[in-house]
Amino acid sequence: MPTLTAILSDIHGNLPALESVLEDMKQYNIDQVISLGDVSGYYPFINEVIELLEAHNAINLIGNHDRYIIDNTDCPRSTSANRCLGYQKSVITEENKVWLAKSVPSFVLGEASFVHGGWDDPEDEYLYKITPSYFERFNEKFFFCGHTHVQKYIDLKNGQFFTNPGSVGQPRDGVNTASYCLFDEEKGNVILKRVLYDIDKVAYQMKRLGFEEKFYMNLYEGSRIGGNVDSIDIER
């Protein structure tokens, strides 16, 4: 049967952002929720976020931050990320860690393929430059991934389509609203969505836990920690 799928990515423990996205979704007849991974990392509400996704029967793909939690390892490129992960590792419940460990590396729904990073490395490949030839080796028509935290829809002009729904919990494309997308499998439509949320709630909790401003001020800017803004471009 035709389905309307809500596709979320890179929630990163940001409960207020996820709550606003779920509230926005109520206006649609959503059949299923797919999370493209990185439920964990950065912001402090790891247990609450997992429990909300579980309550919505979300299919979760494993992201690199989720892997760091599951395997109790560190991010090889960011001391800031590791400090946040250290807090999450100390508070995540065993039940929620088990749920996270059940995350799948990839998922296919009809003509749509889903990963966290990229199709050469599902967990940790960054796709900032999109080329049609990258996708032509696959049979699917629609491709969805996260990881870059940049919302983008691209018609590859070869009968295939690429979408990054952006980040729910830490947008890095210069817009500070939580992002996600809707996918209508029957019509082949992708609808990009942006939702306001209460960033102050996240900032307050981070400050209360002893994190310096640099760990949360980026949320007001829609940027990385440190202020950099990213983009996704197509190369033909």
Strand order in the sheet with 178-184: 59-60, 32-35, 4-8, 178-184, 189-195
Q: Which residues fall within 8 angstroms of residue 142, CB to CB, at 6 or more apart?
A: 111, 112, 113, 160, 161, 163, 183, 188, 190
pTM above 0.95, yes or no: yes
Element (H, E) at 180: strand 178-184
Cα-only R_g, the chain: 17
Specify the pLDDT at position 177. 98
Give just the sign of the alpha carbon dihedral 89, 19, 192, 55. Answer: positive
Q: Which residues pair with 172 in a beta bridge?
A: none
Q: Compute the distance between CA of residue 43 and CA of residue 176 in angstroms, rounded to an integer.
A: 15
Per-residue pLDDT of the chain (236 residues; tens, 9 = 90+): 457 999 999 999 999 999 999 999 999 999 999 999 999 999 999 999 999 999 999 999 999 999 999 999 999 999 999 999 999 999 999 999 999 999 999 999 999 999 999 999 999 999 999 999 999 999 999 999 999 999 999 999 999 999 999 999 999 999 999 999 999 988 999 999 999 999 999 999 999 999 999 999 999 999 999 999 999 999 98
Q: What is the longest distance spanned by two Cα atoms in the chain?
A: 50
Specify the pLDDT at position 2. 52
Closest CA to 106 of 94, 93, 117, 90: 117
Distance between first and last Cα of the chain: 35
- Please give the DSSP secondary-structure letter assigned to residue 16: H
Which is the CATH superfamily of the domain at 4-234? Metallo-dependent phosphatases (3.60.21.10)
Q: Half-sphere exposure of 44 toward its Cβ, with a 13 Å CA cutoff?
A: 15
- Please give the DSSP secondary-structure letter assigned to residue 7: E
Q: Which residues pair with 109 in a beta bridge?
A: 112
Specify the pLDDT at position 1. 46
